[in-house]
Structure formats: C-alpha cells, structure tokens
C-alpha cells in the first residue's frame, strides 16, 4: 500500500502544524507521510516542544519550513490541510 502524503500548513509552522504533523505520524505513520510548513516560517514554540515531549515525541532539532520552498522543490501532496484561523487560512 502506498502512503498518502499530507501537508499541514499554518502561518509560522511553529505550533499547530508541527503538532498535527507529529501526531499524525505517531498515530498513523504506517498510512501517511506527514509534513508541515508555514507561509512565513518562524521559530518552534517552546510549549509545543514540551507538549510533544510528553507524548514521547522529540522535535527539539526540527526547524520550521516554508510551504513555498516545498512547492518550488516540486513537492506534491495528496492532502493539504490548513490549521490556522480563517483569516490566516485565506492567505
């Protein structure tokens, strides 16, 4: 079975998209390839690092990514999911 690819997008790729990526990977990594990116990549939120650590997930070495860089690199996804508020999602 081929894994479906999922991209979680938010503005800064610092919190919600990072959590969604890691939790999907933990829960259904055998069915999905998960990534996350932001429209304006920022810095990982320290609270997210701590919460994911409590779930047994270490993201301390991760960097935020640009959705536009992934697009320019030719990355394609089965699903693209925005995890930001409605106003930000319009961007």
Stretch 26-51: mean pLDDT, rounded?
Answer: 97
**Phi, psi for 7 (deg, rounded to 5):** -115, 125
Residue showing tokens 């810095």: 43
Options 3.40.50.2300, 3.30.230.70, 3.40.50.460, 3.20.20.100; CATH for 4-90 is: 3.40.50.2300
Inform me whether the pLDDT recorded for 88 exceeds 70: no
Q: Is the pTM of this model over 0.75?
A: yes
Residues 6+ apart with CB under 8 A from 3: 30, 31, 32, 33
- Hey, where are the domains in the chain? 4-90
The answer to whether residues 53 and 22 touch, using CB atoms and an 8 Å cutoff, is no
Inform me whether the pLDDT recorded for 89 exceeds 60: no
pLDDT, position 84: 81
The answer to whether residues 82 and 10 touch, using CB atoms and an 8 Å cutoff, is yes
Indicate the pLDDT class of residue 41, thresholds 50, 70 and 90.
Answer: very high
Nearest residue to 68 via CA among 35, 32, 41: 41
């Amino acid at each position: 079975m081929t894994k479906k690819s999922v991209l979680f997008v938010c503005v800064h790729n610092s919190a919600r998209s990072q959590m969604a990526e890691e939790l999907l990977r933990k829960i259904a990594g055998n069915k999905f390839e998960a990534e996350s990116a932001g429209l304006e990549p920022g810095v990982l939120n320290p609270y997210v690092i701590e919460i994911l650590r409590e779930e047994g997930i270490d993201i301390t070495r991760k960097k935020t990514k640009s959705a536009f860089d992934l697009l320019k690199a030719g990355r394609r996804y089965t699903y693209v999911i925005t995890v930001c508020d409605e106003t930000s999602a319009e961007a």
